[in-house]
């Protein structure tokens, strides 16, 4: 009896061990080929910079290269759809921003790309923006700008990185809260709106810190206010729009990594863990010093996206921003 019982126990232990080994052996390695990281904007600007810094780290941390692929256009839909329709194996990823939560609210009742088409991996970081005007613009404060715009409805223009971007929504919210009418001029990315402002083809922008800071310091453009709820650390003397009379104004860019819907949890978690390690390294933290780096868990990112969608919908409703 004891011998038979012992034999059965040994057999069960062997079977369990065999199952574990089989399961381990059956788990495919990742990555097995180069990873394609799509950016929905042209080279230059906050999204492209973040993507390239992460790609460099991930390439060095793994056994495969991470290649940045800029696919601008379609209000970020072109790049987003490529990833949404890719094989869900973690070898095609997307860097997206606020557009992903804004597009459904900008096109109510119409089919468009949305968070539901992806597996959220992590919120990499948040980036503040600045209301800036060309150096020749006849206003040196938010109060003066509003006064000019009220006297001449639809005379003054603001450039953005495209419809639904934080730069677009920042201008729309400003116009709504200030009670003025501005003309929106969308470009394909930060390089486009920055060039337009430097050439005085537009009067102002609500652009990101990396896109504008050098030009502000050189005097080519004039910063009037920060768009965030608190002041920007690199420009501590610059007041916020809330401090300048628009109480409650708060706009910033967020940057997240997304995988195609159906990507296995183990791959999503592996990516998030490596990005979390990346932001703690000195090279990444130094090159992305203008960003508030986060790298939260996939579950935390899902919660963030739901909250952001609610806030963005309110901003679009309040400002009257349109998809075209």
Residues 95 and 112 in one domain: yes
Q: Is 253 helix (H, G, I), strand (E, B) or coil?
A: strand
β-strand 157-160 against 35-39: which pairing, if any? unpaired
Q: Which two tokens stand for residue 256?
A: 């997240």
Q: Given this model, what pLDDT does residue 1 score?
A: 46
**Is residue 211 in a domain?**
yes
**Is residue 318 in a domain?**
no
**Is residue 296 in a domain?**
yes
| Listed residues 226, 245, 265: the one ending a domain | 226
Q: What is the CATH number of the domain that holds 167?
A: 3.40.190.10
Q: Given this model, what pLDDT does residue 8 score?
A: 53
Residues 139 and 215 in one domain: yes
Q: What is the dihedral of CA 15, 20, 22, 23, to 10 degrees?
A: 140
Q: Is 208 helix (H, G, I), strand (E, B) or coil?
A: strand
pTM for this model (two decimals): 0.82
**Is residue 175 in a domain?**
yes
Residues 183 and 220 in one domain: yes
Q: Given this model, what pLDDT does residue 10 score?
A: 43
Residues 300 and 271 in one domain: yes
Q: What is the CATH number of the domain that holds 93?
A: 3.40.190.150
User: What is the extent of the structural domain holding 150?
Assistant: 128-226
| CA dist., res. 50 & res. 8, Å (int) | 57
Residues 114 and 63 in one domain: yes
Residues 173 and 221 in one domain: yes
Q: Given this model, what pLDDT does residue 4 score?
A: 53
Residues 156 and 78 in one domain: no
Q: Given this model, what pLDDT does residue 115 score?
A: 95
**Is residue 186 in a domain?**
yes
| Listed residues 189, 207, 226: the one ending a domain | 226
Residues 140 and 86 in one domain: no
DSSP 74: G
Residues 96 and 134 in one domain: no
Question: How many Cβ atoms are within 10 Å of 145's Cβ, its own excluded?
Answer: 25
**Is residue 65 in a domain?**
yes
Q: Given this model, what pLDDT does residue 13 score?
A: 47
Residues 168 and 107 in one domain: no
Domain count, the chain: 2
Please list the pLDDT of the chain residue by residue as tens digits (324 residues). Answer: 444 554 455 445 444 444 444 444 456 789 999 999 999 999 988 899 999 999 999 999 878 999 999 999 888 999 999 999 999 999 999 999 999 999 998 887 778 899 999 999 999 999 999 999 999 999 999 999 999 999 999 999 999 998 889 999 999 999 999 999 999 999 988 899 999 999 999 999 999 998 999 999 999 999 999 999 999 999 999 999 999 999 999 999 999 999 999 999 999 999 999 999 999 999 999 999 989 999 999 999 999 999 999 988 988 888 877 776
**Is residue 148 in a domain?**
yes
Q: Of the candidates 153, 186, 155, which has an alpha carbon nearest to the alpha carbon of residue 322?
A: 186
Those residues whose C-beta lies under 8 Å from the C-beta of residue 263, and which sit 6 or more positions away, are 88, 89, 90, 119
Q: Given this model, what pLDDT does residue 3 score?
A: 45
Q: Given this model, what pLDDT does residue 32 score?
A: 94
Those residues whose C-beta lies under 8 Å from the C-beta of residue 66, and which sit 6 or more positions away, are 34, 35, 36, 37, 54, 55, 56, 58, 59
Q: Of the candidates 128, 127, 151, which has an alpha carbon nearest to the alpha carbon of residue 138?
A: 151
Q: Given this model, what pLDDT does residue 219 score?
A: 97
Residues 135 and 108 in one domain: no
Q: Given this model, what pLDDT does residue 321 score?
A: 78
Residues 110 and 259 in one domain: yes
Question: How many Cβ atoms are within 10 Å of 73's Cβ, its own excluded?
Answer: 14
């Amino acid at each position: 009896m004891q011998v038979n019982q012992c034999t059965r126990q040994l057999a069960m232990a062997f079977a369990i061990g065999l199952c574990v080994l089989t399961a381990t052996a059956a788990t495919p390695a990742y990555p097995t080929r180069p990873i394609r990281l799509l950016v929905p904007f042209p080279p230059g600007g906050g999204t492209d910079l973040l993507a390239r810094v992460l790609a460099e780290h991930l390439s060095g941390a793994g056994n495969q290269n991470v290649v940045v692929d800029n696919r601008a256009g379609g209000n970020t839909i072109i790049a987003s759809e490529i990833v949404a329709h890719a094989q869900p194996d973690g070898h095609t990823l997307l860097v997206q921003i606020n557009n992903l939560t804004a597009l459904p609210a900008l096109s109510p009742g119409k089919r468009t790309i949305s968070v539901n088409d992806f597996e959220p991996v992590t919120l990499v970081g948040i980036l503040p923006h600045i209301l800036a005007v060309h150096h020749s613009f006849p206003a040196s404060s938010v109060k003066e700008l509003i006064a000019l715009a009220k006297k001449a409805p639809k005379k003054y223009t603001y450039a953005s990185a495209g419809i639904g971007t934080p730069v677009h929504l920042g201008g729309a919210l400003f116009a709504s809260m200030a009670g003025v009418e501005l003309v929106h001029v969308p470009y394909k990315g930060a390089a486009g709106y920055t060039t337009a402002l430097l050439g005085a083809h537009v009067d102002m922008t609500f652009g990101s810190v990396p896109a504008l800071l050098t030009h502000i310091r050189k005097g080519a453009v004039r910063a009037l206010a920060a768009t965030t709820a608190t002041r920007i650390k690199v420009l501590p003397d610059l007041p916020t729009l809330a401090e300048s009379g628009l109480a409650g104004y708060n706009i910033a860019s967020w940057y997240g990594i997304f995988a195609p819907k159906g990507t296995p949890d183990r791959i999503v978690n592996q990516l998030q863990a490596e990005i979390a390690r990346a932001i703690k390294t000195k090279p990444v933290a130094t090159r992305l010093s203008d960003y508030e780096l986060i790298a939260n868990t996939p579950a935390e990112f899902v919660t963030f996206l739901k909250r952001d969608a609610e806030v963005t919908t309110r901003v679009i409703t309040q400002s009257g921003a349109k998809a075209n």
